[in-house]
Amino acid sequence: MERKKITVIGLGFVGLPLSLSFAMRGYDVIGLDVNQSLIEDLNNGVTYHLEQYNGKPIQDILKDALTVGTFKATTDYNEAFAESYAYIVTVGLPVKEGMPVYDYFESAMMDLGKGLKQGDVVIIRSTVVPSTTEEIAKPILEKQSGLIAGKDFYLAYASERIAEGKAFEEFENMPTVVAGITPESAEKAKEVLRLISKAEIHIASDMKIVEAAKVFENVSRDVNIAMANQFAQFCQALGIDTMETFRMANTHKRVNLLIPGPGVGGYCLPNAYYYLRPKKEELNIDLSLLQMARMINDQVPHRIVDMLEYMLEKQGKTLQGAEVSVLGLAMKDYSNDDRISPAHDVCKILVDRGANVKAFDPATHSHVSYAVDSLEQSVDHADALIVLAKQMEFDNLDLNWIKEKMEQQPILIDTKHLFDKATVKELGFDYFAI
């Protein structure tokens, strides 16, 4: 394959490590994004992502790519059109009021279509409503370019399956599924993906199959986590240890219960059901199980706050005016991503119900009113401590020191099982774990 440039459109938690996966293997990459401050940061070697490859942090990978010239970021599509032969789109579909919003995606397609050339390859890697590539991307690209997909340029969809924190490894080793508007489009897309992937690349017969399979993968985890959270409620009501019960169940070779927690966060899982919803309504399909799972997971932050209020009232205190320390705002453990994080939901509910919240997360860089800059600020004079996400800085916390900083009869709600139950109780915490 001729070594022209690859353009990645969207430089978020997927697009940036994808770009650098090509760049660190010597392929020239242009990264496109509409966020000018992000572009400036990246071109100066600045990113707050927590990815690494073989022990090398993404910050060093980025700086190396900038130094040798295999990566540059820009907001200007014209910089890509002259030299690129392949375009990989990672622009997401945000969800508002339970429905996906196409604005950013459609805008990217319009800008891309204006400069498409004969023989270019377009690969959509965003998680989308099944049929989006054919029904939205294809007509916009054809109208703007005057070219025909499958005849003048190649159009394909390839699912993105990475877990944040493992992006480089999984771009390299996770099996990939791809389909094209024509068989030739699928093969061209496979050639591009093979540049960074050592794993099997499966070609499906229809782009809608790959789009749907990607959403199913995410929804299945949402459903399984909802089941785990309901099992956890049962264990709590019965007065038995949740994690021990789960460990015993998982000794069965065909059982793999997921770990309950404060809810489901991030861009992918909470949005997944809503990517099926437009087709559910259009085709009149019953997806009530999936809808119920989403509702169950959305309710968990409320249950956490209700439990805190109950524990405070047992001590003769009220949630109104209580000092509440929160550790972790990330959407999952060891992440700097706090998009759609259940931790924020817990904090907002607490604030709405009159608590004074001081949340600390050293990785997320959240600019919210309840965020503080240090662990000491967070726990100082706190009536209660709620653990909502793990970070490396939390792995060896001194509970004795924390207890001394907190008020008398301190409450500890540990949704991540960060602390040993016996140790916590021995120190005199009023303790609850999901």
Active site amino acids: 214, 268
Amino acid, res. 388: L
Distances (CA, A) of 25 to 228, 236, 288: 41, 50, 45
Tracing tokens 């130094």 back to the chain, one arrives at: 67
Contact 16, 49 (CB under 8 A): yes
Which token pair is 61?
């990978």
In terms of phi and psi (left: phi > 0; alpha: psi -120 to 50; beta: otherwise), the region of 393 is: alpha
Contact 354, 319 (CB under 8 A): yes
d(CA 106, CA 93): 10
d(CA 78, CA 96): 31
